[in-house]
């Protein structure tokens, strides 16, 4: 199965659809001609610019497509040929290799007694204990 993202006039993903492999030979043309609008192919098995085996979830030799699997609200960046999620916080910056948003301070190691949550006003991770 092939996946295609429909884009609006600002290259924001409106939806992602699944198309049979038979219809996806020239999928973008198929989607554009049949459904109208602008479509870009996306790979369910691509994350952070790496292709993963769908059975083992381990990196494999497959070709990564457009850095990340598209999701509603993502932006298709034509220059980077990448789908990029919305920026979660103003202080976070885009990693050019993965097209993931990175915090200015690395997340602390996990703790079995709680978790860490980003606090934008203090630009830091705050520990939240489990109840």
Q: Please check whether residue 19 is in contact with residue 31, taking contact to mean a CB–CB distance below 8 angstroms.
A: yes
Length of the chain: 131
Contact 6, 14 (CB under 8 A): yes
- pLDDT digits (tens), the chain, 131 positions: 889 999 999 999 999 999 877 766 665 556 666 677 889 999 999 999 999 998 999 999 888 899 999 999 999 999 999 999 999 999 999 999 999 999 999 999 877 789 999 999 999 999 999 88
Q: Which of 3, 18, 10, 28 is nearest to 75 (CA)?
A: 10
Per-residue pLDDT at 33: 65
Quick one: pLDDT at residue 28?
58
pLDDT of residue 128: 92
CA separation for the pair 131, 129 (Å, rounded):
6
């Amino acid at each position: 199965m092939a996946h295609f993202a429909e884009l609006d006039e600002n290259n924001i993903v409106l939806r992602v659809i699944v198309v049979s492999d038979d219809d996806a030979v020239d999928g973008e043309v198929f989607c554009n001609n049949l459904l109208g609008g602008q479509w870009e192919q996306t790979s369910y098995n691509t994350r952070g610019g790496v292709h993963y085996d769908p059975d083992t979830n381990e990196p494999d030799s497959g070709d990564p497509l457009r850095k990340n699997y598209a999701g509603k609200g993502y932006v298709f960046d034509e220059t980077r040929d990448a789908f990029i999620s919305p920026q979660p916080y103003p202080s976070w910056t885009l990693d050019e290799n993965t097209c993931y948003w990175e915090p200015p301070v690395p997340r602390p190691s996990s703790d079995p007694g709680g978790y860490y949550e980003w606090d934008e006003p203090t630009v830091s991770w705050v520990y939240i204990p489990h109840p």
